[in-house]
Amino acid sequence: MPLSPQEIAEFEELGYLFLPSCFSEEEIEALREEAVEIYKTDREEVWREENGAPRTAFAAHTYNEAFGLLGADPRLIDPVSQIFGEHLYMHQYKVNAKAAFQGAVWQWHQDYGVWSRDDGMPEPRAMNIAVFLDEVMAINGPLMFIPKSHSGGTLDAHHDTSTTSYPLWTLDDDTVTKLAEEGGIIAPTGPPGSVMMFHGNLVHASPPNITPYPRKIVYLTLCAVSNHITKFGRPEFIAHRDFTPIEPVSETALLDYARARKKAA
């Protein structure tokens, strides 16, 4: 279903849009179980926290059928393509673990600050659309946003290569304080299957997870095809170089897959 004018207006004003109950438990269960299997492998795409727990599995859509179907699901592709008014390719794909007791911080940052500095992406015409695989609660390391912070463009940032296992262009405390005075800080929570779309310049972060409850979220970074990257310093599995427009699969493809998988088990 296309986004309504009210949803588009909300996205433009706040920089994010929360879409509850997009995916069924049957679909999510299959993805969650596949994620756990992927984290057990020693693939180069699986990055770990400094403590050894899984942090993220990059490019899972390229080597896992369930995540491949999710990466072409019209419920994710269509809203982003509607906003940009053109075809999309997959710039990045992550299955973030935020493991129970061990998941570490993601520092305050803007994703477009990373895509532009590291990958030479011309404009902030790429966006994350996230799918919750576990319940995201206030206590298990939810993603935090500063509403409206996308409207100030790309801010000065520092390349932090030491705080976590994953280098990131991060914002300083004064900048975050000033932005939070204006927009506050929110942390959308919700059941597995919820979807969240957010602007490439929206300032966000997440705290460590010290609870027994894992918080897996899949992030598709969808980029307008005409806005493809121009710098190729990061590994291909982190910043993709295949700019082929994504051809959406049918709305039931993931559910059909999940049911067949369960039957075969």
Site of interaction with ligand SIN (CB under 6 A): 96, 98, 106, 143, 204, 206, 217, 219
Which partner from the list ligand SIN, Mn ion, none does 227 bind, CB cut-off 5 to 8 Å by kind? none
Classify 253 in phi/psi space as left (phi over 0), alpha (psi -120 to 50) or beta.
Answer: alpha
Per-residue contact track with Mn ion, 58 to 97, x per CB under 5 A? Answer: ----------------------------------------
Rg for the chain, CA atoms, rounded: 17
Nearer of residues 121 and 258 to ligand SIN, judged by Cβ: 121
Which residue, 83 or 203, is less far from Mn ion as judged by CB?
203
CA dihedral sign, ordered 185, 139, 213, 141: positive
119 binds Mn ion (CB under 5 A): no
Decide: 73 and 196 in contact? Cβ < 8 Å.
no
Residue range at the interface with Mn ion (CB under 5 A); choices 33-41, 104-112, 134-142, 229-237: 104-112
Comparing CB distances to ligand SIN, the nearer of 4 and 162 is 162
- Please tell me the distance from the alpha carbon of residue 148 to that of residue 204, in angstroms, as a whole number: 11
Q: Find out whether 145 and 196 touch, Cβ atoms under 8 Å.
A: no
Token pair 């409850």 is at which residue? 213
198 binds, among Mn ion, ligand SIN, none (CB under 5 to 8 A by kind): none
| Binding of Mn ion by 111 (CB under 5 A) | yes
Alpha helices in 127-215, H assignment, sequence order: 173-183
Residues found near Mn ion in the complex (CB under 5 A): 111
